[in-house]
Structure formats: C-alpha cells, structure tokens
Structure 1
Amino acid sequence: MKLEPFLSGLCFGEAPRWHDGRLWFSDFYIHQVRAVDESGKAETVVEVPGRPSGLGWRPDGTMLIVSMTDRRLMRFSTGTLSREAELGSLATGQCNDMVVDGHGRAYVGNFGYDRHAGEAQRTTCLIRVDPDRSVHRAADDLLSPNGTVITPDGGTMIVAETFAHRLTAFDVAADGTLSNRRLWATIEGCYPDGICLDAEGAIWVSDPFGHRVLRVLEGGRITHSIDLAPRGAYACMLGGQDRRTLYVITNSGSGPAMADKRDGRIEVLRVDVPGAGWP
C-alpha cells in the first residue's frame, strides 16, 4: 500500500474533515482554513488570526474552529468569524484538535504544556462546549489529548493521547458527559496524532514520529502499517463520496520552524472500509 500525492505546498496542515463534498483542513502557521474538492481545486475559506486547528460543524451548518494561540473556540457563519467560547480558564496549553458530535457539542483538546519551550510534560483536560456556549471540563488527566472520534451511535468517544502512546475510550451520556474511562489500545512506539474511524470500528492513526499511518483495532492489533519515512503523518480522514479515500496530512517536520517552509502535503490512498462516525 502506498500513498499518492494529492495537494502540495501546505505550510502545516491539520484537522482534515470531509464535509459537503470537499476536504476541509487548517493550515495553521498561515492562519487559513481551506477546502479542496476531489479534483484538487483548493480555496481559502476563512483566515483565523489565532491560528486555526480543529474543525467541525453543528447540525445547523455552523462551522466551529479551534483558535490555538488565544485558546478560543470560534464560529464561522454567513461569512462572519466570531468568538464562540473562551477556553483559557481550562486549557493549560495551546488548544488543538476537536470533534463536534451530532448534537453540536464540541470537545476540544489542548497540549497541556509547551513542549517546544522545554516545559515538563503534564496532563491536561478535554473541554466540552455546548450549543448554549457553556464551557465544561469533560475529562481530566489526559496527556496531550489530540485526535478524537465518536462512534456512529454517539455512545463512545476515543481520544488519542499522543505522548502516552495510547487511545483512551469513554462512554458518552445523553447530556454529553463522559464516564467509564478505559484503555482502547496501547500502541508501543507510536505517538498517535490525528485519527479517524471506519465502519468496522477500526481507527486509522497518524504517527508523526514513527513516520507512518496505522489501522488499529480495539486492543491494539495493527492490521495495516504504511511507511512514510522520512515524512511524518500528522492527521488523517476518510472521505470522498464513498468515504473510502484515506486523506493523510504529511510534513517533513513539526514545530515553529515549519512556519517558514512549504513542505506540507495531503496524500491519498483508496481503502476497502469506509469512514464512519464523527468527525
């Protein structure tokens, strides 16, 4: 199995999402949310001064965007970007990825500490923002909560804890609260970043430092491992009209030094099992 080039010239892509017939993604060092159709035609949708990351949509079509550096959740509707919620009281590091569920609730991760400034690792929380704009602590003691998926029935959430080398699951109650925390999979030597779920319940995992993308079953068995060396995989999404195209965002490195480069790419692979659930 080999990925094929799809879109090049990105600065640092993040949070690919299949929505309304296009792949949407953040290019965060140039402060842009972009969308590209299956032919490869791309456009800039909105610029986010605080550096965009996680993306999602509420059932009414409102787009939500994580604003990393000012630790905010933004909304983009009818051509206007506005503040939805302040997250700084709970986020101990820059905000990052997000999943928006079928009820319009946004679950936002944050790094917890500044790795690039040499700060020591510490755990942080996952933040939930409800449609009424109220902000809640959804889960504690997560180590770099990153990519997040929700199963098609809305009942289970799985979070990638990047520097803990694991995927962690929770039950999701009707009011959005999380409980029954449990280990979904430990992946030794893997730093799970962006993830996406397929219809067989497997998770595709981007592993930036392992230079690969993996398909993992609950319990940790790896069914597919695609080598990308020397490039790293930072996020992935199952999209296309049949949701059988795996889009993988890759780059030559990460961190602030990437702001002056244009090494980012989106690469693609056709797979047998379609995407499912959220995002």
Structure 2
Amino acid sequence: MRADIVLDGFGVPESLRWHENALWFCDLAHGTVHRWDGSGKAETVLSVPGRAGGLGWLPDGRMLVVSMDGHCVYRQEPDGSLVVHADLGAIAGGPVNDMAVDDRGRAYVGNFGFDYHAFIREQPNSMLYAPPGPTGAPIACFDADGDLLGLTDPLLFPNGAVFTGGAFVVAETLGMRLTAFTVLADGRLVNPRPWASLIPPRLWRAVTHPGLIGRITRRVSSLLDHPAIAKRSSSPIAPDGISLGAGGTIWVANALRGECVRIAAGGEVLGRVATSQHTLSCLEAGGNLYAGTVPTDDPVRAGALNGGRIEMYAL
C-alpha cells in the first residue's frame, strides 16, 4: 500500500489534526499553522513565534498551539491575537514537542528533554543509547485555564499521543515504544505501562548495553543508518506522531523510514502504508490516512529544502 502526495513545498509538516471538516497541521521549520479543506492549496492560518508545534482546541473553539523554542503553549483569542496559555520554561529540557488536548480542554505536552538535533548533527543517532542514554522528559498536564496539574516521570522523547479506551497512550520515540497511562478524574496521568514495544527486545538490550556488546551494536547500527538500507528494513519502529485506527489500534508514523504502521495493543503489526519520505506525523480521518513526510527532520536543513509533503492513502 502506498500513499499519494497531495500537498508539498513545506519545511516540516507535523501535528496533523482533523478539525471542522478540514486537515490542520504545523510547519515546524517555518513556524506556521495551515488548514486544508481537500481542494486547492493549504491556507496559512497563523505564524507562531518560536516554531509552531502541537495543535489542539479548547471546548469554546479557541486554538492552542505549542511554541517549541518559546517553551510555552499559546492560545489564539477570537480577535486572532496570541497569548501565553501555559508556560513550560521551568519544565522543558529541550524544545517543547507535540501536544494532545482532551474534550475538557486539558493539554498534555511533551518536550525533547535535550537538544536532539544538535546531538545528531555531530554523532550518529545510535550513539544516543550509550549509557546513561538519552535524557528523559516528562509530560506536563495543564487544565483548561493553563494551570499545571502535574508531571509524569521522565520518558524517552515523549511525542504524539492519543486517548483510547480510557487510557492516554504516548509515543516514546527514542524508547521505540508506546506507553499507556491511566487518566485520573483530575486529569493527571498515573500508572505508566507498556502498550506496545516496537523494537525486538534482544536488539534493545544490545544497543543499550554498557559493555563491548553495546559498543559494537551501536557502531554497526550507525553504519547501517543509511536511507537506502533503512527503507528496506521492517524493524525497529521509532514512533513519532500517532493516530487512532480502527478497532482500538494505533497508526504510527515511523520516523526511521517512509511508512505508517498500524499497531495492535501488544505490538502486533497489522498493516503498513509506504510514503515517499521519512514520516513524522499521521492521522486517520474521513476514511483516509494522512501523513506528514520530510526529506530530513533537521529544521534548519528542512527549512531550506522545503521538501515536506502531505501524503494520503484511501483506507
């Protein structure tokens, strides 16, 4: 199964959402928010200081949008102005990341935990797993007024998230897994537990091993970290954006290669849709699967290339 390109010319299209009969998304490289009704070109709705990240809406219709480098969540008022809704300055150890907003207006926001792109400009991605491993980051939960409700324990690059079956499921991109939380009545997240592991256990143990096995595995992994090789692999899966699928499954945008993967609880792979480039976000809506794809996820390079695309597959 292969998706078709329906929009192009973006930096890093991310955080795909379906709202008021249209597809909405951010461009992380250019700090813009876009809306597409399925015909013609996408409309530029908003420019966000500090690079636009995750998207959501309050029950009264006001939009929330993450400022990645501003370490905050903005709220767009009816007159179009932006005001700080939630401040993550004392929480985020790196750029603020994706966000999920529930039907009560509670916003769940992750962050990188460290300067990921600065690291991988200097070293292969596999070297992140040399002990003690990448720095973790919590998910911050804010109420509809922007007040902090609580923080989770640190996760490995918390990214896209969905609400399903009474649980909150988040993609841990660098952990190569989906993790579920129980949502308390007051909105706090507790009881983290595995929803799906997306890397073979033996490979995870090897790449994180503190001794010779780990050094060899990380070195071999860095040699194999080439697009021509990665696109022919089926494992592991680094989950970036995620979306609910049919029957309680979850679609995962695989940041390691050009594909969206449908996952069942426990980790069984039920289907794959190929895309033309690395895939950072996905969304099932209106009988279609949408994907945000990029030639590179480095925002500086991507902003110069403008090779980001929105791709679509009819389910």
* Fold conserved between structures, TM > 0.5: yes
| Most deviating of 113-122 and 85-94 | 113-122
* Counterpart position of 2:131: none
Amino acid at match of 2:193: R
Counterparts of residues 26-175 of structure 1 (less than 5 Å): 26-78=26-78, 79-118=80-119, 121-151=134-164, 155-175=166-186
Distance 2:77 2:16 in 1: 19
Alpha-carbon contact 2:177-2:197 (below 8 Å) kept? yes
Q: Structure 1, residues 3-61: CA drift from partner, whole Å, max 9, x if none?
A: 01111111111101000011011012111111011124311111101100100011110
Name segments (4+ residues, structure 1) moved above 2 Å: 226-229
- Report what 2:267 is aligned to: 220
Greater mean deviation of Cα atoms: 118-127 or 139-148: 118-127
Q: What percentage of residue pairs aligned between the two structures are identical?
A: 42
| Cα offset, 1:178, TM superposition | 1.3
* Residue equivalent to 1:277: none
Identify the residue that residue 207 of structure 2 maps to in structure 1.
none
DSSP 3-state at the match of 1:190: coil
Instruction: Report the structure, 1 or 2, having the larger strand content.
Output: 1
Does residue 208 (structure 1) correspond to residue 219 (structure 2)? The answer is no
In 1, distance between residues paired with 2:117 and 2:65?
23
Deviation per residue, 1:211-266 (Å, 9 max, x gap) = 2210000000001122336x101001122xxx211110011111132121110000
Q: Does the CA-based 8 Å contact 2:18-2:24 persist in structure 1?
A: yes
Counterpart secondary structure, 2:138: strand
Gaps of 5+ in 2: 121-127, 129-133, 200-235
Tell me which structure has the larger Cα radius of gyration: 2
Say whether the 8 Å CA contact 1:57–1:64 is kept in structure 2. Answer: yes
- Equivalent in the alignment of 1:25: 25
Q: 8 Å contact 1:6–1:40 — kept in the other structure?
A: no
Is 1:10 aligned with 2:10?
Answer: yes
Alpha-carbon deviation of 1:118? Answer: 2.0
- The residue aligned with 2:307 is 263
Q: 1:166-185 residue pairs with structure 2 within 5 A?
A: 166-185=177-196
1:267 alignment partner AA: E
- Provide the C-alpha distance between the structure 2 equivalents of 1:202 and 1:250, rounded to a whole number of angstroms: 22
Q: Does structure 1 retain, via aligned residues, the 8 Å contact 2:106–2:143?
A: yes
**What is the DSSP-based 3-state SS (H/G/I as helix, E as strand, rest coil) of the residue aligned with 2:152?**
strand
Give SS of 1:170's match. strand
Q: Is the 8 A contact 1:67 1:95 kept in 2?
A: yes
User: Is contact 1:90-1:137 (8 Å) kept?
Assistant: no
Distance 2:140 2:179 in 1: 15
Contact 1:125 1:137 (C-alpha < 8 Å) held by counterparts: no
More helix by share: 2
Provide the alpha-carbon RMSD of the alignment: 1.4
CA distance, structure 2, for counterparts of residue 245 and residue 51 of structure 1: 28
With 33-42 and 179-188 compared, the bigger mean Cα shift is at 33-42
| 2:290 corresponding residue in structure 1 | 247
Q: Tell me if the contact between 1:202 and 1:215 (Cα under 8 Å) persists in the aligned partners.
A: yes
Distance in 2 (CA, whole Å) between partners of 1:238 and 1:228 is 15
TM-score norm. by structure 2 comes to 0.81
Stretch of structure 1 that moved more, 94-103 or 39-48 = 39-48
When structure 1 is superposed on structure 2, of 77-86 and 119-128 the one drifting more is 119-128
Match of 1:234 in 2: 280
